[in-house]
């Protein structure tokens, strides 16, 4: 049975903002995101229950819910979550890792970055959990080429081996030669946090996963978002709504996008007036989200709440 096949539940019920959200927002799933999420999270696995069921049951059976978030970042959503769960929801902070990764083996990449203008480079990475398809990689590559922006791409092979583009590893034929000097393709693992902290990196094209978002915002880097899985679409809409990111335009039904869609989003963030305003907000937010003291205080507050809760339970029993 496909998503939306139930007589009383239609796809549009899931692509609209739920009625229980009491404030104006654009945060909602797209049709293609729901189809992907249904396959990934709602179908039972070898344990005979789905991932979504396990999450819901864990929340239902808990007394306190800790969330990797920040009151400074999304107070209205944290309050709503507590009302929906009908239990205390405590933000734990975002905890972006410090830029102390070993950069051994990547000296050439950092030397190239050293030669670029401040905040001019787009860092491109989509993590290891979700793999881009060949056509998606092709559109991204051609979009980077068309944008005219200097870029560093942490490249991984596409999910489908037959890309149909004649290039190697999902890249179009002759791509690296055409962007030589302006773009750098790095294969395999890269020290992402160190790269984002480099002074020449000003933009981050990413899938909007929470780890990557936290790492980018903590370094004051502007975000261009291309969500792929799970909560990434909701994260993207939230960040766009806060005017601290731009999302790549795409077909809402099948999720497709073109090279020009990628190039246009990059230009909006990196060279147009909108990008300057966005950059100022991101820099301001970085002072909070990237602050060790703010994040540490969130954990201290959580531990204090756990301690008080434990004492209350002992007195009650």
Reduced to 3 states, what is the DSSP secondary structure of residue 171? coil
Taking the CA of residue 146 as centre, how many other CA atoms within 13 Å lie in the half-sphere pointing to its CB?
A: 15
Q: Identify the pLDDT of residue 244.
A: 92
Q: Residues 222-245: what's their mean pLDDT?
A: 93
Token pair, residue 306, equals 């756990």
Q: Identify the pLDDT of residue 6.
A: 45
Residue 6 in domain: no
Q: Are residues 303 and 227 in the same domain?
A: no
In which region does residue 230 sit, left (phi positive, over 0), alpha (psi from -120 to 50) or beta (all else)?
left
CA dist., res. 160 & res. 102, Å (int): 31
Q: Are residues 128 and 267 in the same domain?
A: yes
Higher pLDDT, 109 or 55: 109
Q: Residues 211-216: what's their mean pLDDT?
A: 94
DSSP assignment letter at 140: H
User: pTM of the full predicted structure?
Assistant: 0.86
CA dist., res. 211 & res. 49, Å (int): 26
Token pair, residue 130, equals 């979700």
Q: Residues 187-212: what's their mean pLDDT?
A: 94
Bridge partners (DSSP) of residue 91 are 67
Q: Are residues 127 and 208 in the same domain?
A: yes
- Residues of the chain with pLDDT > 70: what percent? 87
CA dist., res. 151 & res. 274, Å (int): 20
Residue 85: which domain range?
A: 51-94+292-317
Length of the chain: 317
Residue 127 in domain: yes
CATH number at residue 111: 3.40.50.2000
What's the angle, vertex CA 13, arms to CA 33 and CA 255, rounded to 5? 20
Residue 173 in domain: yes
Q: Are residues 276 and 315 in the same domain?
A: no
Mean residue pLDDT of the chain comes to 86
Q: Identify the pLDDT of residue 130.
A: 75
Q: Are residues 271 and 179 in the same domain?
A: yes
Residue 83 in domain: yes
Residue 4 in domain: no
What's the angle, vertex CA 105, arms to CA 100 and CA 109, rounded to 5? 80
Q: Identify the pLDDT of residue 43.
A: 62
Bridge partners (DSSP) of residue 206 are 225
Q: Are residues 123 and 236 in the same domain?
A: yes
Higher pLDDT, 14 or 272: 272
Residue 72 in domain: yes
Q: Are residues 69 and 114 in the same domain?
A: no
How many helices (H) and strands (E) the chain has is answered by: 13, 8
Find the Cα–Cα–Cα–Cα dihedral 233, 10, 136, 27, rounded to 10°.
-20
The answer, yes or no, to whether residue 170 has pLDDT greater than 80, is no
Q: How many separate domains does the chain show? A: 2
The answer, yes or no, to whether residue 149 has pLDDT greater than 70, is yes
Q: Are residues 232 and 85 in the same domain?
A: no
Q: Are residues 132 and 180 in the same domain?
A: yes
Q: Are residues 279 and 299 in the same domain?
A: no
Convert the pLDDT of each residue in 291-305 to its tens digit: 888 888 888 888 888
Residue 181 in domain: yes
Q: Residues 123-139: what's their mean pLDDT?
A: 89
Convert the pLDDT of each residue in 49-99 to its tens digit: 777 788 888 889 888 899 999 888 899 999 999 999 999 899 998 888 888
Q: Identify the pLDDT of residue 154.
A: 94
Convert the pLDDT of each residue in 260-289 to its tens digit: 999 999 999 999 988 888 999 999 989 888
The answer to whether the Cα torsion of 212, 214, 215, 220 is positive or negative is positive
Q: Are residues 225 and 242 in the same domain?
A: yes
Q: Are residues 173 and 250 in the same domain?
A: yes
Q: Residues 152-176: what's their mean pLDDT?
A: 73
Residue 263 in domain: yes
Token pair, residue 303, equals 């531990």
The answer, yes or no, to whether residue 211 has pLDDT greater than 70, is yes
Residue 315 — very low, low, confident or very high, per pLDDT cuts 50/70/90?
very low
CA dist., res. 218 & res. 282, Å (int): 9
Q: Residues 158-168: what's their mean pLDDT?
A: 54
């Amino acid at each position: 049975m496909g998503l939306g096949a139930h007589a009383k539940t239609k796809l549009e019920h899931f692509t609209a903002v739920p009625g229980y959200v009491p404030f104006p927002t654009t945060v909602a799933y797209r049709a293609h995101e729901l189809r992907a999420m249904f396959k990934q999270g709602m179908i039972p696995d070898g344990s005979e229950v789905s991932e979504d069921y396990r999450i819901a049951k864990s929340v239902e059976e808990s007394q306190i819910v800790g969330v990797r978030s920040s009151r400074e970042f999304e107070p209205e959503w944290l309050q709503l979550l507590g009302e929906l769960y009908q239990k205390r929801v405590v933000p734990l902070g975002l905890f972006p890792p410090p830029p102390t990764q070993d950069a051994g083996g990547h000296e050439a990449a950092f030397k190239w970055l050293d030669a670029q203008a401040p905040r001019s480079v787009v860092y491109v990475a989509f993590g290891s959990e979700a793999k881009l398809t060949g056509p998606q990689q092709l559109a991204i590559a051609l979009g980077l080429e068309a944008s005219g922006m200097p870029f560093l791409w942490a490249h991984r092979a596409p999910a489908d081996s037959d890309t149909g583009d004649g290039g190697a590893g999902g890249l179009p034929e002759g791509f690296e030669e055409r962007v030589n000097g302006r773009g750098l393709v790095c294969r395999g693992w890269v020290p992402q946090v160190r790269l984002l902290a480099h002074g020449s990196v000003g933009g981050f094209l990413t899938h909007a996963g929470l780890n990557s978002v936290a790492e980018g915002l903590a370094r004051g880097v502007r975000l261009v978002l291309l969500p792929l899985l799970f909560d990434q679409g909701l994260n993207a809409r939230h960040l766009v709504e806060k005017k601290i990111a731009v999302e790549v335009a795409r077909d809402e039904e099948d999720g497709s996008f073109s090279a020009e869609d990628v190039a246009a989003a990059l230009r909006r963030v990196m060279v147009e007036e909108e990008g300057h305003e966005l950059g100022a907000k991101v820099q301001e937010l970085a002072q909070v989200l990237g602050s060790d003291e703010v994040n540490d205080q969130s954990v201290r507050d959580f531990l204090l709440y756990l301690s008080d809760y434990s004492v209350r339970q002992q007195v009650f029993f």
